Structure 1
Amino acid sequence: MLAVAWAASGDSHEVRLCVTDKRLVWLRDDAIADRVRALRLAEVDEVVARTGRVRRQGELRVRARTRRRRLRFGEIAPGPLRELAEALAQVLPAGAVRLPAA
């Protein structure tokens, strides 16, 4: 695993988000069924990581070729958000990841 962080998604308040060398994996802690979901990094077109102004929580938006909607993971602390974004920048093509402002 290259990076791991706690986040929230639209369908779950507690998500463990993991970046591996081949996949973006998220584990929904508050779900009974369909707890583990994954997206192959080969299917990812763009990743945008940004930090909110008010609560200083970060957000990771992932656009994939195989999904109609973008994946959004919010409520990520700034440090883990940068780690996730940098890990994705290592395994995705150049220019596919936009890092948060320092």
Structure 2
Amino acid sequence: MEQYIDNDTQRPTPATESAVDPTAVRHAIRAYGEQIIQQELQYAFSRLRVHGTLMPEQRRVVNKMATAILDEVLSSPESILENPSRYDTKTIRTAVDLFSPDQ
């Protein structure tokens, strides 16, 4: 990604913002996170079955906990990518590098 930074504000210029499509990255991050949740839930439920059957309410609680964890983990990068003009290029690049499934 080419870096175009306004030297006065240290904020990305429009050219920088267009180099990374924040909406596309946010959607990709969320989709990848959902995929990980499903994999981890499948693993957790298979491990929990060893100790007995989970009741439907217990399964819902575990699902809600997994979703809450994902929401918390992704809240910061999603916030950065929702409002890229509020952040410097380094912060945006870090969010993309750390959380983009394409990286």
- TM-score, normalising length from structure 2? 0.23
Larger proportion of helix:
2
- TM-score, normalising length from structure 1? 0.23
Higher relative contact order (CA 8 A, sep 6+): 2
Higher Cα Rg: structure 1 or 2?
2
Larger proportion of strand:
1
